[in-house]
Chain A
Amino acid sequence: MSVIRKYCCIHAGKCFLDGALLFQSEQEKAKEFLAELYREIKPGYPKFFKMDVLAKAGFLAAELLMKGTEPVDDRKTGLFFANACSCLDTDRHYQDTIGEAYFPSPSVFVYTLPNIVLGEICIRHRIFGENTFFVAPEFPVSQLRRYTEQVFADSGLERALVGWLECEGNTCEVMALLVEKQGEGIEFTDENINRLKR
């Protein structure tokens, strides 16, 4: 049975790690709140400020989940995430940079795919395992859980970051899990994932 080793929820000015409130701010706007959270946990990674909001949210969740974990073979960690809005905010921002004068921004353009967040996490943590980003109308708990289990069974993956990364406008909803193929932790079931959601 696979297990949830750690889990993290970020939304509406609050960040929880393993169910405990880790950081809270009056600032509820996603972009500003994530910057405050970055300063709180001090990853020392200035490229963070160049990322779009979706990548910032995923980066910080991964940072919290991977901190203090034992290293495993880089090829045996995977990433499986989903959201509803894809990277729509960044698409709109990119459209705005084009404008009438036509000066499209290259640094905004590079984030106009939802799976770029996975690339940022892979670069940061030197992860070379399989990664997939799904777009679904709501958190596809069962689908993500079954997909992760299947990849664990088929590919030799031993660990995965799994979850929901939804950022739209000023809001951000993150639930991210560090799941391991075996070991000690909370059983990786649909019921437990739904129970841990805040």
Chain B
Amino acid sequence: MEELIVKLKNEIIDVLNLEGMAPEDIADDAPLFGEGLGLDSIDALELIVLMEKNYGIKLKDPNEGKAIFRSVKTMADYIEKNRKF
């Protein structure tokens, strides 16, 4: 799981152009939206694309998003359980 979390942090930094940020700057449990990284709705769409492109996961229920994208850790948990590749 630790390896997946680091990989995911690097992917998030890359896809969201988080300039000057390193994986260690993102706490596993820090909120991705609002207070934490301060991501916006377009970033949320990019994360949905990232999950599909890199892990083969299609989010069918939009209501799931809030819980899945709460933090890097919750994303990694969901990916671990649902990844296609």
Contact = CB atoms under 8 A, between A and B. Distances in A.
Contact of B19 (A49, A101, A103, A110): A49
Interface in B9-49: 16-19, 42-43, 45-46, 49
B52 interface: yes
> For the complex, would chain B's binding face be called helix, strand, loop or mixed by DSSP majority?
helix
> For the complex, would chain A's binding face be called helix, strand, loop or mixed by DSSP majority?
helix
B46 A107 contact: yes
Interface residues of B, number: 11
A106 B16 contact: no
B19 A46 contact: yes
Nearest to B40: A47
A105 B17 CA distance: 13
B53 A110 contact: no
Contacts of B17: 49-50, 107
B52 A107 contact: no
B10 to A, nearest CB: 16
A110 B42 CA distance: 8
Contacts of A104: 49
A110 B52 CA distance: 20
Contacts of A103: 49, 52-53
Contact of B45 (A35, A49, A106): A106
A106 B46 CA distance: 6
Contacts of B16: 50, 107
Contacts of B45: 106-107
A103 B49 CA distance: 7
Interface in A87-123: 101, 103-107, 110
Given A103-B53, A105-B49, A107-B43, 18 more contacts: A35-B19, A46-B19, A48-B19, A49-B17, A49-B18, A49-B19, A101-B53, A103-B52, A104-B49, A105-B46, A106-B42, A106-B45, A106-B49, A107-B16, A107-B42, A107-B45, A107-B46, A110-B42
Interface of B: 16-19, 42-43, 45-46, 49, 52-53
Interface of A: 35, 46, 48-50, 101, 103-107, 110
